[in-house]
Amino acid sequence: MTFVSTSLERADKWEQICFPVQTLQLSELLPATYELLATDRQMAIVGESEPGNFQVFALQGKDYSLIPNTILREVVDSCIEDYTLDIHYSGRGEFSIAIILPQQVSVGQEQLYKSLILNNSYSGKTPFTIQGTTLQGQQGRTRLSYYRQLCANGLMGWADDFTSLGQYQNWLGAGKPKKPAELGFTKVGMIHKKVSHKKVDLSWFSQYLGEVIENFLSQESSVTAQVYSLLAQVAPPKQVQELIVETGLPKQLAKVAMERLRKEEKLLKTEPTLWLVYNAINYSLLNSRSSLTIGDRFELDEKSLHHLASLTL
């Protein structure tokens, strides 16, 4: 399906995305004179973003399970006392929720904030994910995300699926194989089950999400932060714009990334590094008008991180 080009909206409070939403029979929304053709999509996902303003986000089958943002809020509030929010969302019912903690880590000249990113959608086009994926980690572990104050964005690339920085670099050196284990590269075992919007028991889901958050809170170090530090030590090639396009970023977004890179060089009074290039790409993905879904933006961000990291070898 082709989406209309749009910019993501921003919010810093749960109330802006925790509006009423429910699953209704499509037949209940149509006049009695309408006859529905045979289809398995008879359930309408209906939200009320403002009083009296109803939106039909999608039509789904009878097994579709809606995960309201209110449940995410309840679980996060029960697990974390001190946090702030940075939320990106679209009018299509997609949400990327960055939960930012006070803990910090140093990368180059900067301090990044530890964060947890939850993606959700009411359209069914973006699956529910924790730190950008539905499958990750080993028992007691999860990916760590970081929030960068300078560009006010959560970073969406990770290397925490690997047991060490060395293992990650070996994977990069082998050409980033899709099935690392088959070539001898050890990834950590899975903790996160695949959470699809199908027959989800919301009581189980709340408990499961709480366990993942507790694992996240107890984890202090990450391979991802080590990769970020490496990027901050390496200068990009002279043809930076070509490098940005090589990561797979659409040309218009690559132009925005290049402009952002030059701006940050001036703000930080420094020469460009691969770290700044990565952040410029991240900025363009989250702040540019595009037909990309939130899930698409995350995939491009992580792809660009791996591409840039390969230049540090």
pLDDT of residue 4: 63
CA nearest 301: which of 176, 192, 178, 155? Answer: 155
Would you call 265 exposed, middle or buried from its count of C-beta atoms within 10 A (0-12, 13-18, 19+)? middle
Task: For residue 223, give the amino acid letter.
Answer: V
In the chain, what are the helix, strand and coil shares in percent, each to the nearest 5? 35, 25, 40
Beta bridge partners of 60: 43
pLDDT in tens, 46-77: 999 889 999 999 999 888 889 999 999 999 99
Q: What is the reported pLDDT for 180?
A: 57
Q: Which residues of 12-93 form beta strands (DSSP E)?
A: 21-25, 43-50, 53-60, 84-89
pLDDT at 162: 85
Enumerate the β-bridge partners of residue 10.
88
The Cα 171–Cα 92 span in angstroms is 36
Nearest-angstrom CA–CA distance, 25 and 36 = 11
Residue 124, pLDDT score? 79
Could you list the mean pLDDT of each consecutive 10-residue stretch along the chain, which spans 313 residues? 70 96 91 81 91 92 91 97 94 92 91 93 84 53 85 80 89 81 49 61 89 89 92 94 93 94 93 94 89 86 94 94
User: Over the stretch 226-236, which tens digit does the pLDDT of each residue have?
Assistant: 999 999 999 99
3-state SS assignment for residue 77: helix
pLDDT tens profile 250-292 = 999 999 999 999 999 999 999 999 999 999 999 999 888 888 8
